[in-house]
Structure 1
């Protein structure tokens, strides 16, 4: 197989070739290495390509038999491998735990061959850090690949691997999916275990999954990674059938709520709004019942809630630093994370209860506002990919903790709310700007109903296919 052929296949397609004996897992790993060597010096998405990549473990069967895979440098871990969280504070740290996620990956035949960049501690939606530098968007290297799964998105978009591990605590799968032209699902809370050490991570707001290029890969990945594990805080309702079987099921007539107005302070760019209008019309033509919806929550309320969760989470950094014999200061944390850490100090004992109550109120308010709809259609992001740097970057030297969270809530206005509610939501690359940049649109489902999202995503992919679109930087294109 040539590199130009490798990049044309999604993960399901490559696995089929391996199972048929037309190519081997080792050959695919070597092609991934060739793709990495060609494009990674330009995009800076992969910070470590494993020296033992050709011999990593993986079942010789499964839905993703022999497919190369990449791990985000944050979240799920592989025992013995570096996990630096994009931070100088954790430079050189190795995990002692094998996450359920990567046990499932190996059982499905995936070969994890390296790790990808992430903004420090996953706090930013922009793809740059002091530790690892700037990750460029393959569609335009002067623009961000998004975050916090920006390295994963850039690597998949540029063709290094067809699928990569990602995680989403407030948009971190869907932001880079939108800006890099990929399929990015944030599953329901509890659908995929973060154990054995991170169950119910960040109040259950953070979920692990993947970034990929096709809906069938998304469905197959749900089958691979879904399911309860020992120690999970609750067991979500399980699907009636495998998700890949949903690809052949009828969708039926759905009640669709469409967001045509902004939900935060940042205005929706005209080309993004046009993409929403066009997709709403398409859904109507498919027979669905389309109704406009207004913002189901207040942006300022979300900003305060996220700052409160940050306060509780960042307070544990002191213990982590102490255990490593390290000091938290400007030499170990970027400016924004240092300010968030300082903001978290000296919290009253009652603070955790206040944050939990704020989460409960938002879940209730949003749930009541959208309960009459089967799915929602929103922009994923109000803008196309932004240039590197600026106020949304955690390296910003002067912004305060409060200002940071206000800016975060304004830009990621359609995303973090569904981390709070626990609902599944997927960004699909259904449109492009006049300049050729990807525009993602978000489909939100009811809690626990990924099956309906798979069917709707399949319908939209068939009606508005995106596989022919290619970024400026892609392996095998020279």
Structure 2
């Protein structure tokens, strides 16, 4: 990675095999024979080389021929990257951590196989903050992942590397996963669509299966709603969840008008900043103009939710510290970054609360469900304030100040991970004074991905999302 040398907008769009296609469009061009998978992979690699010295989004490139799943699937031949907390056979899995030396995975993770069933061509792996704990992709002792809309700013986290590559046009779609907002946060920061599926919609991760409460969902970040919809349909073709209603391929808005609740401030007492509030109120006006009924709503959550989620978060860091030698024989928890160590130490002070924390977090489902009474969807900010500059959430910030900043930022997304409800981040028509995107979020009842995709399609059609190449 070369040294960063000044702020700018960074994108890779050009007249090549990828053009301005999204993943659905590129797959269609490949099926028509206008572009070959090899050409798409070649030009995607050239685009990555052109932007990654500025963005720092790639952890490792796949050597030799492109890692492709073959010619079948909705995204056959579409180049992509896998996030570096998910095993891809033959590539190391580093989890964004300097606490061990990663080794090549012996086999694909279950979700990797599900993603490959769509036909994508894997070009490598993207960077994430250590173990995915942070809402920004920054490090202690390494260059951060930078936002292609303005390289002085965060690309979000934890799927920051994936979001930066997709927003910059290096690839049309990339793997992301979400244990507290890690699909939706970088999507909001980088002007993308990020759908966190319902719990159980896609195959569970190995870590998720071991947790007392599985908060992790895998998915993708994309520049278009139809890519998010096509991914979900492809995932469902590979494996249909027995406990959820099928989604199928959603191809556009619904004629049905919805009743949508909205919130501006988090129930944990965090107030949204002016640009964030403007994004929500502008979207409310758009929805009303389109014929939907939109009304304020209060989210039902236990006052202890934030502290409980923080304790659970700390438990994950503690468990990683205990079991880290399964990642590498040289694992040393003392080399974990300041955020990971702070979370672990906080858990050690509060571990006796664990049974009550788990009990209350599992009960969140009942109170949250009551918030949807009489409503189809709930809309909110994705984040309580707009994308921060690099350094604001760095793991080098003293832990007490850092966790205060994180909780004042990540105030809306974690509840859907705890409850298992689906939610989607979509770009609003608003932007920050520095031109950065601002996302809004819609949440539905478990299994309600179709409604989320339909409303996202409608907003995208009414006011097409800003394009980085037009700035």
| CA distance in structure 2 between the partners assigned to 1:462 and 1:346 by the alignment | 50
1:305 alignment partner in structure 2: 308
| CA distance in structure 2 between the partners assigned to 1:228 and 1:47 by the alignment | 28
Q: CA deviation at 1:249?
A: 6.0
Relative distance call for 1:118 and 1:83 in structure 2 (3 A) is same
| CA distance in structure 2 between the partners assigned to 1:399 and 1:291 by the alignment | 38
Relative distance call for 1:385 and 1:354 in structure 2 (3 A) is same
The alignment yields a C-alpha RMSD, in angstroms, of 2.4
What secondary structure sits across from 2:209 in the alignment? Answer: coil
| CA distance in structure 1 between the partners assigned to 2:275 and 2:315 by the alignment | 38
Is the 1:194–1:200 Cα contact (8 Å) retained in structure 2?
Answer: no
| CA distance in structure 2 between the partners assigned to 1:20 and 1:146 by the alignment | 36
Is the 1:307–1:405 Cα contact (8 Å) retained in structure 2?
Answer: no
Relative distance call for 1:133 and 1:284 in structure 2 (3 A) is same
Relative distance call for 1:114 and 1:376 in structure 2 (3 A) is same
Given the alignment, which residue of 341, 344, 348 partners 1:341? 344
Is the 2:264–2:272 Cα contact (8 Å) retained in structure 1?
Answer: no
| CA distance in structure 1 between the partners assigned to 2:208 and 2:362 by the alignment | 21
What secondary structure sits across from 2:380 in the alignment? Answer: strand
2:9 alignment partner in structure 1: none
| CA distance in structure 1 between the partners assigned to 2:224 and 2:449 by the alignment | 15
Relative distance call for 1:297 and 1:228 in structure 2 (3 A) is farther
1:294 alignment partner in structure 2: 298
Relative distance call for 1:322 and 1:179 in structure 2 (3 A) is closer
Relative distance call for 1:352 and 1:154 in structure 2 (3 A) is same
Aligned pair count reads 456
| CA distance in structure 1 between the partners assigned to 2:143 and 2:292 by the alignment | 45
1:412 alignment partner in structure 2: 410
| CA distance in structure 2 between the partners assigned to 1:428 and 1:142 by the alignment | 22
Given the alignment, which residue of 276, 284, 292 partners 1:280? 284
Q: CA deviation at 1:329?
A: 4.5
Q: CA deviation at 1:7?
A: 4.3
| Gapped regions of structure 1 (runs ≥ 5) | 473-478
| CA distance in structure 2 between the partners assigned to 1:136 and 1:72 by the alignment | 16
What secondary structure sits across from 2:151 in the alignment? Answer: strand
What secondary structure sits across from 2:47 in the alignment? Answer: helix
Matched, 1:395 2:407: no
| CA distance in structure 1 between the partners assigned to 2:69 and 2:457 by the alignment | 29
Relative distance call for 1:72 and 1:19 in structure 2 (3 A) is same
| CA distance in structure 2 between the partners assigned to 1:346 and 1:434 by the alignment | 41
Given the alignment, which residue of 22, 41, 58 partners 2:34? 22
Is the 1:261–1:294 Cα contact (8 Å) retained in structure 2?
Answer: no
Is the 1:84–1:94 Cα contact (8 Å) retained in structure 2?
Answer: no
What secondary structure sits across from 1:113 in the alignment? Answer: strand
2:453 alignment partner in structure 1: 454
2:356 alignment partner in structure 1: 354
What secondary structure sits across from 1:411 in the alignment? Answer: coil
CA distances 1:401-454 after superposition (whole Å, capped 9, x unpaired): xx6555433211111111111111111112223432101111111111101111
What secondary structure sits across from 2:408 in the alignment? Answer: helix
2:3 alignment partner in structure 1: none
Is the 2:100–2:329 Cα contact (8 Å) retained in structure 1?
Answer: no
Question: Which range moved further: 124-133 or 172-181?
Answer: 124-133
2:179 alignment partner in structure 1: 169
Given the alignment, which residue of 370, 391, 408 partners 1:368? 370
Is the 1:265–1:411 Cα contact (8 Å) retained in structure 2?
Answer: no
| CA distance in structure 2 between the partners assigned to 1:60 and 1:37 by the alignment | 26
Is the 2:338–2:396 Cα contact (8 Å) retained in structure 1?
Answer: yes
Matched, 1:146 2:146: no
Q: CA deviation at 1:89?
A: 1.5
Given the alignment, which residue of 157, 168, 172 partners 1:158? 168
Given the alignment, which residue of 6, 12, 20 partners 1:8? 20
TM value normalised by structure 1: 0.89
Relative distance call for 1:425 and 1:292 in structure 2 (3 A) is same
Q: CA deviation at 1:301?
A: 1.8
| CA distance in structure 2 between the partners assigned to 1:18 and 1:322 by the alignment | 43
| Gapped regions of structure 2 (runs ≥ 5) | 1-12
| CA distance in structure 1 between the partners assigned to 2:443 and 2:207 by the alignment | 28
CA distances 1:16-39 after superposition (whole Å, capped 9, x unpaired): 111111111111111011101111
Is the 1:228–1:235 Cα contact (8 Å) retained in structure 2?
Answer: no
Matched, 1:109 2:119: yes
Q: CA deviation at 1:107?
A: 2.2
| CA distance in structure 1 between the partners assigned to 2:193 and 2:439 by the alignment | 9
Relative distance call for 1:340 and 1:135 in structure 2 (3 A) is same
Is the 1:257–1:293 Cα contact (8 Å) retained in structure 2?
Answer: yes
2:79 alignment partner in structure 1: 68
Relative distance call for 1:247 and 1:329 in structure 2 (3 A) is closer
| CA distance in structure 2 between the partners assigned to 1:36 and 1:195 by the alignment | 28
Relative distance call for 1:13 and 1:270 in structure 2 (3 A) is same
Is the 2:264–2:380 Cα contact (8 Å) retained in structure 1?
Answer: yes
Question: What is the 5 A alignment of 1:52-67?
Answer: 52=64, 54-67=65-78
Q: CA deviation at 1:8?
A: 0.6
Q: CA deviation at 1:195?
A: 4.3
Is the 1:101–1:193 Cα contact (8 Å) retained in structure 2?
Answer: yes
| CA distance in structure 2 between the partners assigned to 1:200 and 1:280 by the alignment | 40
2:222 alignment partner in structure 1: 212
